[in-house]
Copies of this chain bind each other. A is one copy, B any other.
Amino acid sequence: MTESRAVGTKGMPREEREAQLVVAGTEEFGRAGYAGASMVEIARRVGVTKPLLYQYFGSKDGLYLACLHRAGDRLTEGVATTMAAGGEPERMPLKVLSAIFTTFDHDRYAWRLLRDETVPATGEIAAAAADYRRRLAAFALLGATQLMTARGLADPVDIEAIAQVWTGVVDSLISWWIDRPDEDAVAMTARCARIMEGLFGW
């Protein structure tokens, strides 16, 4: 709080309030989906009213975009770093999971924004979401390719299917995790390691 904020302020500075609203929006959009989420409900969670939300974000799409970009940037960044570090293909899935769990430990609904299918089919949201999904799919495709070529089999369509199933697996794990708030990122990673070891010997 060293720097004094601008003159004339009631309540809370805009920046802080915006951050609160993005957090609440992420939870609500993640829970109910874009279509099912209500702007007045998001405002209510934070203890303000709808017009303030609109003054800060312009529209439902504007708020959703803010939430989506925060989630998508953090996620792609974390995954990119992990993938860039390299290592044996069989260890990559667990490493990526660990990165995702750590990144979103206190923000578990964020992942769902990238997978929301109730988003409008065209427009800025669709473009941004498609872009994040494309980047994630590229990582998944890379990992799947490394995994399969190491095993000799490499039908490209099979690899596409594997990559898509992988994102679905992450999705399921996150959903399971959301229902168990007491399990932290470390415990979750350990559980996944145990399961992969037990099921596949990885």
Contact = CB atoms under 8 A, between A and B. Distances in A.
Interface in A132-160: 147-148, 151-153, 155, 157-158, 160
A117 B33 contact: yes
A119 to B, nearest CB: 10
A8 interface: no
> How many chain copies does the complex carry?
2
A49 interface: no
Contacts of A35: 33, 35-36, 118
Contacts of A164: 172, 175-176
A199 interface: yes
Interface residues of A, number: 33
A5 to B, nearest CB: 40
A169 B191 CA distance: 18
A194 B194 CA distance: 25
Contacts of A168: 168-169, 171-173, 175
Nearest to A165: B172
A175 B164 CA distance: 9
Contact of A118 (B33, B151, B152, B162): B33
A32 interface: yes
Given A33-B35, A35-B36, A148-B199, 10 more contacts: A36-B118, A147-B199, A148-B198, A152-B198, A162-B195, A162-B199, A164-B175, A165-B173, A169-B169, A171-B172
11 contacts: A33-B33, A35-B118, A153-B198, A155-B194, A161-B176, A164-B176, A165-B169, A168-B168, A168-B172, A169-B172, A199-B200
